[in-house]
Structures are given as C-alpha cells and as structure tokens.
Amino acid sequence: MEKVKKEVLVLEDILGSNKKIAGAIRKKLLESGILAVNLLSSPGSGKTTLLEKLSLKLKDRYQLGVIEGDIETERDAERIRSLGLPAWQITTHGACHLEAKMLARIFDWIPADLDFLFIENVGNLVCPASFDLGESLRFVLLSVPEGDDKPKKYPEAFITSQVFVITKCDLLPYLPFDTDRVTAEALEINPKLEVFRTSALTGEGIEAICTFLEKKLQELRAKNA
C-alpha cells in the first residue's frame, strides 16, 4: 500500500510541475498572438501528412512553425522543412509523450511573429493526453485503418481534445469503418468536439480545417486585443 501511495504522489508532482510550465508557455504564446495546436494520435494515423496539407494551404497567408516530437530520428521535421517551414525536433529517446519542460528548452528559438505553432506529439493515444503543453487547441486524430472502436478505449485523448479528425477517409470503401458510429461515440465522451472527416489524398476536409483554424486565430487575437 505504501508503494502505491508514493507512486501516486510522484505522478501528482510531475503533472503539477508540468501544469505550471505549460501555463507559462500558454501565457507567452497568447501574449504573442500565436495559436498553438497540439496533435495527438497513434503512430501512422497521418499527423505529419495532415500538417503538410494544412501548411500548403496556409503558408502563403500566415507564418507557421512546427514542433516535432518523436522517440528517434528527425524524419518528420525534415518533411516539414522541405516545405520551406521552420521545424524544431524534440527527440525523446524512449519517452512516449512530450512534456511542457521539453518545449520550454526550445522556446527561445520560436519566433514571436508566428501565427500558428503546430505541435506533433509522439505517436501514442495514451500518455500524451495527460500532459498539457500550453496549447490553445488539441486535435485527436484517428485513421480509418485503425478501426472505429477507439474513442471509448482511449477516452482521455478525446476528453481533453477540442477537435476530432478522422483521417484517410479515402479508404472507407475498402474497410469496415463506420464514421457515424465513431463520431457518435466520440461526442458521447465529449459533446463539445468539433469533428472533421479528411483525406490527404483527395483533399477532403482540409479546407474546412483551415477555415476553422483561421477563425480560432481571429478569436484568440480579438480576446487579447
């Protein structure tokens, strides 16, 4: 029993420290008028590809930056840089999520004149949900090949998010994935979720997300004016 108590206290201390740092990051981002978006999903659900498509739509009108979180390699950061955008890599060397203190270490490198800062979290639907990074919005992604039963299996990712993105919808004709079912289940967990159905191959839903992001940026800046 004593061991369990100590483990709980340690976890509370870690999350409390993370919350404090995340609050400081959020304050700086809001003061600079930067909309920060934290993307959560399992590996391979299409976070980087979605960021590429959104960036191509937004980069001519806005200043964008991307923080890439991965256990190893800079492969995703290199893909973003190939679009002419700044990308900062956080390599966790085994950690299954990003923490606010990791962002704090590179925060001085992030330009204050950005409009959007995208944070691609480590591929994992469990641990990243518990760690606030100071973001304005949190997206949870689920791809069609993963199956439509995930919201209630990984509820924290959906509870803590504001946006639910179903990716790879071009595969719907070939796989047993019920978009109505998964949407209903996600909204049962979190009725405030904005839901988007997307396909990076066909472009479905990309413009709608861009419009949503632009609206949220305007709201953020109007609130701080």
User: What's the CATH number where 146 sits?
Assistant: 3.40.50.300
Range of the domain at 118: 2-224
Of 141, 208, 195, 193, the C-alpha closest to 168 is 141
* Token reading at 176: 């047993």
CB 131 within 8 A of CB 103: no
Helix locations, the chain, DSSP H:
2-31, 47-58, 75-81, 100-106, 155-159, 179-189, 206-224
Q: What is the pLDDT of residues 71-87, one digit of tens each?
A: 999 999 999 999 999 99
Q: Any idea what DSSP says for residue 6?
A: H
* The total number of structural domains that make up the chain: 1
Interior CA angle at 50 toward 209 and 216, to 5°?
Answer: 30
Q: What is the pLDDT of residues 98-136, one digit of tens each?
A: 999 999 999 889 999 999 999 999 999 999 999 999 999
Query: What span, in angstroms and rounded, lies between the C-alpha atoms of 192 and 222?
Result: 22
pTM, two decimals, is: 0.92
Distances, alpha carbon 96 to alpha carbons 179, 183, 213, in Å: 28, 26, 27
Provide the pLDDT for residue 14. Answer: 58
pLDDT band for position 225 (cuts 50, 70, 90): confident
112: number of CA atoms within 13 Å, CB side? 5
